[in-house]
Amino acid sequence: MRLSCWIVTFLLLTVALAAGPAASQAAQSGAPAPHSSQTVGGAGGAGTAEPGHDHLGEILPLWSCIPFAGMLLSIALFPLMAPGFWHHHFGKVSAAWAVALALPFWVAFRGAAVTEILHILLADYVPFIILLWSLYTISGGILLRGTLRGTPAVNLAMLGIGTLLASWMGTTGAAMLMIRPFLRANDYRENRAFMVVFFIFLVANVGGSLTPLGDPPLFLGFLHGVDFFWTFKIMPHMLVVAGLLLGIYFAMDTYHYRKEGAARKMTGQGGVALQLVGIHNFLFIGGVVGSVLMSGVVDWGEVNVLGVHRAVQDWVRDGLLILMGILSLATTPIQVREDNDFTWFPIVEVAYLFIGIFITMIPCLLILKAGAHGALAFLINGVQAPMHYFWVTGVLSSFLDNAPTYLTFFNTALGSFYPGLVEAEAVPRLMTENAAYLQAISAGAVFFGACSYIGNAPNFMVRSIAEEAGVSMPSFFGYMLKFSLLFLIPTFVVVTLVFF
């Protein structure tokens, strides 16, 4: 049954995408589009795709996103309906959906399709996995020994610390550093799933909103001329969201703590002094943060790899991140990682699943980048007020890569207010004259990443680590229905009413 669904999907996409030879010919021989760093056009493309291929998004229909929907549904339903099959074959499922998109895409568009697939693999997926791997590896070498019991007050303090760290070492870095001590402190508690969910909300997403180091969309804005400390302008938004979520969490944790009789379980347990082992790994985390920042402030030219143009400094950054991870492995005793319950499964699971996600979402991103000329024109054209930018950027960031989503609406705002101006002139004016729009785009891209397991890089990793630790985490849809809709969306409504 599953095989037949993939075959039908493949055939439908092949026939539909190949329909209209003029479309295919145009896709391979179209004129290059101007890069966003030169001039600001109308409300539309992000300007980051390879020259000559931006217009693919103008050709693709919305239902070319069927494999992406299938990939998401597989992540959501297989663990519930066929957990044994999913545990042993999730990599094959991911590969099947990737092929279901890649083959008909190649049949229809040939060289242009190959370029897009290579671009998302080399420019997006590989750096994504390298960053996750390095931070996962390094953080696995930092162990908090001793007795730290997760009372509501202690848990609130840990969430607060993680939220503050996220803006300076990235949401991924802060999440990987804090999740194991957080889980270990609460290993005696019965209800832990809601704790991990709020950890994802705060540490893995909301906390990264104050600097370009915190979350990829803000770093992308920094690369396009947004001042490093400008993002402090969304500190009030962040404090409202974090304050509401921390308050809700503390009330829930207190309720469950008393209901479980957790205080009685702690009675008579001997305390062991806290000791932080592997602290030299903080140097490597600093090296990761410094490498990421370096890649955004220097310009060493470009190299062409398999037709994909990438900046030299980006390759250097990736090499440095790998080096930091290797140094951590070489200098940290194996026993420390074993005591930290460190395994490679979470990063392997993320690598397998996200290669399917990245490949199948290519049509979605291309259509989004096409802006007013693509199948989502009705959505792009309807974005007018700051609240529109906040919600549309946010909702799309919940399921698509929030970095290109941010850049799409960043350029939409530039094109709406300053058509024809070079980016170097338009961005400073957007930061001052229409700051509310840029605040809405920035806050939406960062905050809404918490709405699903795939909304931001560390979300799925935290879930996987928690499940390895014995926490029964909610399903893909359970996460959204029981937590995102119940707690996040009302919080975002408050942000909209107060600020937008």
Per residue in 160-178, pLDDT (tens digit) is 999 999 988 888 888 888 8
How do residues 409-459 score in pLDDT, each as one tens digit?
Answer: 888 888 788 877 777 788 898 999 889 999 999 999 999 999 998 888 889
- Nearest-angstrom CA–CA distance, 108 and 20: 9
The residue among 32 and 340 whose pLDDT is bigger is: 340
How do residues 66-118 score in pLDDT, each as one tens digit?
Answer: 998 899 889 888 888 888 888 889 999 999 999 999 999 998 888 888 988 99
- Nearest-angstrom CA–CA distance, 398 and 473: 19
Closest C-alpha to 208, from 177, 230, 175: 175
Contact 287/137 with Cβ under 8 angstroms?
Answer: no
**What residues are paired with 349 via a beta bridge?**
none
Tokens standing for 28? 């391979």
Contact 171/458 with Cβ under 8 angstroms?
Answer: yes
The mean-pLDDT minimum among 123-137, 241-255, 440-454 falls in 123-137
How do residues 210-238 score in pLDDT, each as one tens digit?
Answer: 988 888 888 878 877 888 889 999 999 99
Query: Does residue 22 have a pLDDT over 60?
Result: no
Query: Does residue 5 have a pLDDT over 90?
Result: no
How do residues 456-481 score in pLDDT, each as one tens digit?
Answer: 888 988 998 899 888 999 988 899 99
**Which value, in Å, is the radius of gyration of the alpha carbons in the chain?**
23
- What does the pLDDT read at residue 278? 87
Contact 482/375 with Cβ under 8 angstroms?
Answer: no
Amino acid (1-letter code) at residue 34: P
Q: Give alpha helix (H) positions in 144-270.
A: 152-185, 193-202, 216-223, 235-260, 262-266
Q: Over pLDDT 70: what percentage of the chain?
A: 87
The residue among 21 and 244 whose pLDDT is bigger is: 244
Query: Does residue 274 have a pLDDT over 60?
Result: yes
Query: Does residue 270 have a pLDDT over 60?
Result: no
Count other C-beta atoms under 10 Å from residue 105's C-beta: 26
- What does the pLDDT read at residue 140? 86
Average pLDDT of 260-279?
68
The residue among 373 and 146 whose pLDDT is bigger is: 373
Taking the CA atoms of residue 64, residue 68, residue 73 and residue 78 in that order, the dihedral angle to the nearest 10 degrees is: 120
- What does the pLDDT read at residue 404? 76
Mapped onto helix, strand or coil, the DSSP state of residue 309 is strand
Contact 474/482 with Cβ under 8 angstroms?
Answer: yes
Q: Over pLDDT 90: what percentage of the chain?
A: 33
Query: Does residue 268 have a pLDDT over 70?
Result: no
Query: Does residue 13 have a pLDDT over 60?
Result: no
Q: Which residues contact 391 (CB under 8 A, 6 or more apart)?
A: 444, 492, 496
Phi, psi at 21, each rounded to 5°: -60, -30
How do residues 24-36 score in pLDDT, each as one tens digit?
Answer: 333 333 333 333 3
Average pLDDT of 325-344?
90
Average pLDDT of 130-157?
86
- What does the pLDDT read at residue 235? 94
Contact 365/401 with Cβ under 8 angstroms?
Answer: yes
Phi, psi at 305, each rounded to 5°: -120, 110
484 falls in which pLDDT band (50, 70, 90)? very high
Count other C-beta atoms under 10 Å from residue 63's C-beta: 12
- What does the pLDDT read at residue 99? 93
Kindly report the average pLDDT of the chain as a whole number. Answer: 82
271 falls in which pLDDT band (50, 70, 90)? low
**What residues are paired with 308 via a beta bridge?**
305
The residue among 319 and 128 whose pLDDT is bigger is: 319
Task: Please tell me what DSSP assigns to residue 35.
Answer: P
Closest C-alpha to 400, from 440, 437, 441, 366: 366
Residue length of the chain? 500
Tokens standing for 134? 């390095």
The mean-pLDDT minimum among 32-46, 304-318, 337-351 falls in 32-46
- What does the pLDDT read at residue 262? 63
- What does the pLDDT read at residue 264? 60
Contact 451/461 with Cβ under 8 angstroms?
Answer: no
